[in-house]
Amino acid sequence: MDRNLALEFVRVTEAAAIAAARLMGRGDRNAADQVAVDAMRKAFNGMQIDGTVVIGEGERDEAPMLYIGERVGTGQGPKIDIALDPLEGTNLCATGTANSLAVIAAAEDGNFLHSPDTYMDKIAVGPSAKGWIDITKSPTDNLRSVAEAKKCTVQDLTVVILERERHKDLIAEVRENGARIKLISDGDISAAVAACFEATGVDLLMGIGGAPEGVISAAALQCIGGDMQGKLKFRSEEEKERAKKMGITDLNKVYSINDLASGEVMFAVTGVTNGDFLKGVHFRGNGCTTESIVMRSKTKTIRYLKTEHYFNYKPNY
């Protein structure tokens, strides 16, 4: 892929973030998500790519735009698969809470798992613990292994877990081991990425979240040199049948990071609300500022972008 594509993608995440940020704290998650989708879809129109959405807003009958299978871009240029979330953490944006993001990952055709819209049990770590996790083992075993890799004690670790009833036993086991926990209400993509940056104080992500978000998280971790494993957790027989139609034959498969996202991967993310590693959109009278990260797996390049937007030249904002 053309390396300049990464900076093209960040323009798309910036557009979605700015649109969603207009509705921050307004209490309407659906409206915030919709304006992000609209802005992202419009921004794709000018990109010189032949893109196919493989992780998006849902299947065609559920999502009018950015649905799975939708073609984006001009149709001219490299053929790529796109995994996206125009507004990661819709509730976070609606309440003005930290870590709402606009996210895009891209890979060469066929290098993302075509994940059904179901749950996934996940464990994710940064580069210092790459190769030291095993989702088939207990949380206790993984905590001890990560602590050994990071040359610290289990008590030094901080684990991010979604605050859900289904995680009651997981939370209890982590606490019994003496590790610290950061409970979050939403947004496990940002949590997985945070595990790769020491400044966040996060060491690993554990627990069950969305499977599509798992693929996007894996793409980001590939760019940083982190590690992740996942296992699909189906909620119904219908979800199992949908997975089979998408080409998944082993419903109990343990997915490595390379199973989820492989090859050359690009990742772009823009903050909507202030978060652990990115500030959100800050408006002023004639424009706004955004903060983004652009990453590429081939070179493990991480670019931090702070962008000034002037609405006199961007009337659509």
Are 146 and 253 in a shared domain?
yes
Say how far residue 120 (Cα) sits from the centre of its chain. Answer: 13
Please report whether residue 73 resides in a domain. yes
Are 104 and 156 in a shared domain?
no
Q: Residue 51 and residue 61: Cα distance in Å, rounded?
A: 20
Q: Does residue 157 contact residue 148 with C-beta atoms inside 8 Å?
A: no
At residue 1, the pLDDT reads 63
At residue 316, the pLDDT reads 66
Please report whether residue 317 resides in a domain. no
Q: Which residues of the chain have pLDDT under 50?
A: none
Beta bridge partners of 119: 210, 233
| Whole-structure pTM value | 0.94
CA angle 113/32/67 to nearest 5° reads 30
Please report whether residue 315 resides in a domain. no
Identity (one letter) of the amino acid at 236? Answer: S
Please report whether residue 250 resides in a domain. yes
Are 255 and 278 in a shared domain?
no
Are 241 and 274 in a shared domain?
no
| Residue among 44, 36, 46 nearest 12 (CA) | 44
Please give the tally of structural domains in the chain: 2
Are 38 and 170 in a shared domain?
no
Q: What tens digit of pLDDT does each residue of 246-268 get? A: 889 999 999 999 999 999 999 99
| Residue among 108, 105, 121, 102 nearest 161 (CA) | 121
53 phi and psi angles, rounded to 5 deg? -75, 120
Structural domain span for residue 192: 119-260
What is the greatest pairwise CA distance in the chain?
A: 56
| Residue among 2, 12, 18 nearest 309 (CA) | 18
Last residue of a domain, one of 245, 260, 275: 260
Please state the length of the chain.
Answer: 317
Are 129 and 252 in a shared domain?
yes
Residues 6+ apart with CB under 8 A from 85: 55, 101, 102, 103, 189, 212, 213, 216
Identity (one letter) of the amino acid at 309? Answer: H
Q: What tens digit of pLDDT does each residue of 142-162 get? A: 999 999 999 999 999 999 999
At residue 64, the pLDDT reads 81
Q: Residue 159 and residue 188: Cα distance in Å, rounded?
A: 12
